[in-house]
A and B are shown apart, each in its own frame.
Chain A
């Protein structure tokens, strides 16, 4: 249950994210009989038991020079380590969607497709303890793998996963959810079925996640035809800012740099001429430092377009979709 509830100390059977570097993380399920090996060395699981989460674990075998951090699992870390990765959602999108769909403990949500189940983890975290996620995946192997992950992570009470082709057979859910998230190649083919899934007498929000603008246009047309209102489309990104410290030299420093070089030459000459000759070089002053930041040369420029719309509650006397 550690995805849903924080723990302080590592115990047998816990999921731990072993963090070597940002690019190198591994999920470990603690089993005192096992040993974990990586290029930094050998770690006994039994040595990790009883440690506080977040502890820097050192390997005795390498004179304590190799180490890793034992991190508490979070949906965001899981995104980095999920073994059967498909296209994953980025944190900017995850965050914005969660807020826009007004998700909180108790929300009932529909997601399609499940993919690697990484966004499902984020959703389950937010809607716990009494919300529910209905997630759909047409790829049988992926659905199985995701289902297994949900079970291992204690999320099966919160997530119902269904393997089906939602274009053909719809979601098979009516009058139930308040939020829908569609990450499908052709969301417009699933919108009418999604409409029926909404709690019919309440307001609801839908988000369609598509990388191409042509998909967005077709989605908007379909949302409009299906009576959704307040169609809004966003793009969001996170830009990294690399922090550096740079020395601030003045032109005087440039002059003294030349002088130093000249001094050196002169010294060498003088020493060649007279080996006993010594001159004291002037100690140089450190320039003041400046903390600066810059954006990386190459950065992510696009993830997907987020198309949002509002489901309008059915009015008295209107037909409820069954």
Chain B
């Protein structure tokens, strides 16, 4: 990239998101020159510290369970026109730092937000602004909008990297010099400019190397940050970068496929088993848009759907979520009886507690009633527990022709379930798919797949629940049903015409159907793999024509 001076003061700089999956350049052009000579060290240490600890406490708060304060938050939230395009007070936002890291904060008006070494700004300066733009911190804690651009065309030059050697002496500025520059009040791009000027062989680098060099310095010295709107994608990105195992290593393409395959839409009643901190629930809630209901089944006694709160859901959307623990899902596990008391006899403090536990009791009872009533429109599972056991428990509550999607990062967990599903015939065409995603860098003359990528996105087992009416004739005539005592290795039973089945004509391959019916026919599963998928009727038709 060529360093182009815009107007004599500022110059075009390059900032590349260094997060795991963002490898395409995001460059920033200065709308105007920003020259600031305020001494940033005058920012009092004490105020820095208070900001620091404040941020920390906010961060640690996010780690804790949210059962109680979430309810309060929802109540506080007022019915307002849904506007998720502007930065609003009292909402979570992500902040993309020059280093490429993402920080999550809950924005509160009249407070200062510290971005560590990148500086501090006033929350009020960005509240009410639309998402999208980047800001540079200048004059200690002032912010200036930066008009981003995607990239500049790079002019090819004759330079090559022949002169490039690993020699730190080429950089004339020492660490102490840079610290001094900072003390002298130089900020962001001025320091980078100085660093570049002090590099003795910078001009000899290729344009690509120059761009890379500036990018590296940018990550260190720039004071440009970007508020990022919480969307399912950005929330996922944050959690996946921070701790993928907390969301069961689920990649966004896999999550998206779950939502599509499950046909999540307004006016639906969904069942979700979520051990992904509420990531799947968040996706489902967003697609319901407050029209419909989702029952989230969680591990442990209290739910830990932490992810949902970063989505800044409106009250309407938040209200669509109902939660149950596994214990509460089972009919035979009675709900803990509630000790009704005379409200008049309670003190104000006791009353508060009483109402709260009564509300909780009512909520659980209502949610259980809703579940037991059944008629759900889809089941999504991303759980640590055996899928078969979950299906046994929850299938009675599903309507016919509704999707079931099971996620697992380990395929092995799903393979067994898939086989069991084929055996029991309530599931149409159960299949396992793996999601595959590749990001590319597209820059003029430098287009290629990303050098590092996620190794896997997980597996989905998906199927449609179908209704089989027992009163109707069975699809497999009795004489075609496999005998339980068939020995798959006994050559005699395989020989055409030697079937001892007295009920019907001999069948060439009597056990081709066993895959669908019982465990006995697995020997033949391999050779008949093409038919055990879904083509029951076709298969039977073929059998029939063979017979005739």
Contact = CB atoms under 8 A, between A and B. Distances in A.
Give the bracket for the number of chain B residues in contact with chain A.
35 or more
A72 B434 contact: no
Interface of A: 4-6, 8, 19-22, 24, 39-40, 52-56, 58, 62-72, 74-76, 91-92, 94-96, 98-100, 102, 104-106, 122, 125-126, 128-129, 178, 199, 201-203, 213, 216-217, 220-221, 223-224, 227-247, 283-284, 286, 289, 291-293, 295, 305, 307, 309-313, 315
B133 A312 contact: yes
Contact of B477 (A63, A129, A233): A63
Nearest to A3: B265
Contacts of B477: 63, 65
The dominant DSSP class at the B interface is mixed
Contacts of A71: 401, 428, 464
B267 A238 contact: no
Interface string B11-26: 0000000000010101
B432 A243 contact: yes
15 contacts: A22-B533, A54-B400, A67-B475, A70-B401, A72-B402, A74-B263, A76-B260, A76-B263, A99-B233, A104-B287, A229-B150, A237-B435, A238-B436, A243-B432, A307-B442
A8 B22 contact: no
Contacts of B91: none
A286 B253 contact: no
A129 B432 CA distance: 32
Contacts of A64: 472-475
Contacts of B295: none
Given A66-B537, A229-B150, A238-B433, A96 B253 contact: yes
Interface of B: 22, 24, 26, 82, 85-86, 130-133, 145, 147-151, 153, 229, 231-233, 252-253, 255-257, 259-261, 263, 265-268, 283, 286-291, 375, 377, 399-403, 411, 415-416, 418-419, 422, 428-429, 431-442, 444, 447, 459, 464-469, 472-475, 477, 487-490, 515, 519, 522-523, 525-526, 529, 533-538, 540-541, 544
Contacts, number: 288
B432 A55 contact: no
Nearest to A75: B263
B151 A6 contact: no
Given A21-B537, A98-B256, A241-B432, A54 B229 contact: no
A58 to B, nearest CB: 5
A291 B415 contact: yes
A6 B399 contact: yes
A21 B534 contact: yes
A312 B148 contact: yes
B459 A126 contact: no
Contacts of A22: 429, 533-535
A47 to B, nearest CB: 11
A244 B525 contact: yes
B458 to A, nearest CB: 12
